[in-house]
Amino acid sequence: MAPELVEEMSRPREQVRVLPALEKAEKGVVMRFAPNPSGPLHLGHARAAVLNDAYVLRYGGRYVLRIEDTDPKRVDPLAYDMVREDIEWLGLAISDIVYQSDRFDLYYRYGRELIERGGAYVCTCDNERFREMKLARKACPCRGRSIEEDLAAFEKMRAGEYEEGDATLRVRTDLDHPDPAMRDYPAFRILKSPPHPRMDAFLYPLMNFSVAVDDHLLGITHVIRGKDHIANTRRQRYIFDYFGWEPPVYRHYGRMGIEGVVLSTSQMRAGIAAGEYQGWDDIRIGTLRAIARRGITPEAVREAVLDIGIGETDISFSWENLFARNKAVVDPVANRYFFVPDPVLVRVKGAPDHVAHALLHPAHPERGTRDLHFTGQILLPREDMEKGRVMIRLKDLFNIEISGEGEDISARFAGESLAEARAQKAPIIQWLPEGTGIPCTLVTPNGNRTGICEPGVAREKGAVVQFERVGFARIDAVTPEGIIAYFTHR
RNA sequence: GCUGCUAUAGUGUAGUCCGGCCAAUCAUGCCGGCCUUUCACGCCGGCGACUGGGGUUCGAAUCCCCAUAGCAGCACCA
């Protein structure tokens, strides 16, 4: 095992909230994460994925990744890979992978059996007409056909002899059910286009059927999903009952909104197509790849999600809490550098040439220093010049006194005493020797900040660093023109 | 409209099942202080909540009823 991993595991965990116990879990569990491959995973997926993962880890057992690609209209062929990458990033302990598109023969077989058991019938009613009858608690004419007729019609559906919308297999539930959502819901439909990227079919199972069959066949013991599935859980119950199967234990957590970002895959896709977003990792959308690009770690996502738990209350996910978790992960690791945003050139008079040795990390001197050669001309953040301070401490260097304003700022050496700087309440600010730094663009959700950073930052590509007094940032790209850094958080 | 779920500080969360130990936990945030050659990290202190109204009870955040609000479902999506 890699040494970093050992260190990672022995590092005292932040106190992550203990999830409530699951009933019937003592002897181990089989759980599932079942995304639809319509795009990359986002924070909403992460909640389901991590919660299930945590329970599998806690009780032991298997964790099935089930790709729910039964609707070709909502399958993006590229998403299969993206989902896999995102799962890897999250570090889920997946033990089995199944694709529903590989299992259509199974669904057909159980579809026939459901008909034979009297649990389903082929309905050829017009959609709108069926809806009216359903709301009036009336049976549609198709409901009374014989099992043989339904079986034959089901075969015709499979063979492609019906056109889209002309026939559907319905589960026979209870037309008097007080909840109209329960009444004779559909289990299979006809679809002739678009073609499925992984197979050929005219007859497609709907989610409530394929999910119920698979949950049983895969031996799923516990299902944790959003409360938008409560009705589906009840619908699936009919199928379990018809087959005499024991359903899993279900938990439904509340709806989660996230401030400031789009979470819907279709909206994100539309935004990308319209050129509004740059891609699936645009920092303004809530995909995992987007937050990863900003320097959010999977550990932080995991902890934030566990912190939220499986409560049934609707919540609004706050970046503050995620950032706090992330900071705890990243702060001990991130090397420190100077980044001078919107720099102004200042000549310092009367100062001796000097080499500053700034620590890469204040808590880890053994990591070494960045050495900055002062030779008279320096770059300072314009922001700090506009505050009217006279005495300033250049971090790891010496004190200066500022005079002038605007583009005409100059400075004078004011001694090396840190104590004196303290006494005068001088701010300690970052600086760079003129001419040695490299251009750097800090990309933030509120726009970009340009400036100059230390040359050493070029060695940190892909890593999260801390720009002193500015905040954490992930070094996204190092090009001949300069560095692109993504702002993580303060 | 019908059906169902939920309701604790700015945010998240514990407590609610089995009423009293809750003048309500922890985290985050904010404010103040300390530490510190970063406005980071760390430490100390402070701020801040049981949706409303009835009822049951000696006693209710916890049980019951009503109201209000939010959310979800009523798709040939998942």
User: What is the rounded distance in angstroms from the CA atom of residue A288 to the CA atom of residue A23?
Assistant: 31
Window 6-65 of chain A: CB closer than 7 A to strand B: 15, 17, 20, 34-36
Closest to A63 in 3D by CA, of A223, A303, A299, A250: A223
What residues contact residue A172 under an 8 Å CB cut-off, 6+ apart? Answer: A118, A119, A120, A121, A143, A184
Window 265-304 of chain A: CB closer than 7 A to strand B: none
Tell me, what's the pLDDT at A10? 29
What residues contact residue A66 under an 8 Å CB cut-off, 6+ apart? Answer: A32, A33, A34, A97, A98, A99, A100, A214, A218
Instruction: Write b or e for each residue in A128-160: b if 16 or more Cβ atoms lie within 10 A of its Cβ, otherwise e.
Output: eebeebbeeeeebebbebeeeebbebbebbbee
Closest to A235 in 3D by CA, of A247, A219, A221, A220: A247
Tell me, what's the pLDDT at A17? 67
A410: pLDDT strictly greater than 50? yes
Token pair listed for A344: 């102004």
Average pLDDT (A454-462) is 97
Q: Give the DSSP H or E segment for A224.
A: strand A222-226
Tell me, what's the pLDDT at A9? 31
- A179 band by pLDDT with thresholds 50, 70 and 90: confident
Q: What percent of chain A has pLDDT over 70?
A: 97
Supply the ipTM of this predicted assembly. Answer: 0.92
Helix, strand, or coil (residue A239): helix
A1: pLDDT strictly greater than 50? no
A434: pLDDT strictly greater than 60? yes
Map tokens 């905040």 to a residue: A471
Window 324-343 of chain A: CB closer than 7 A to strand B: 324, 327-328, 331-332, 336
A380: pLDDT strictly greater than 80? yes
Map tokens 């340009």 to a residue: A450
A364: pLDDT strictly greater than 50? yes
Tell me, what's the pLDDT at A405? 74
Amino acid, res. A325: R
Q: What percent of chain A has pLDDT over 90?
A: 81
Q: What is the pLDDT of residues A80-139, one digit of tens each?
A: 999 999 999 999 999 999 999 999 999 999 999 999 999 999 999 988 888 888 888 888
Q: What is the pLDDT of residues A199-254, one digit of tens each?
A: 999 999 999 999 999 999 999 999 999 998 999 999 999 999 999 999 999 999 99
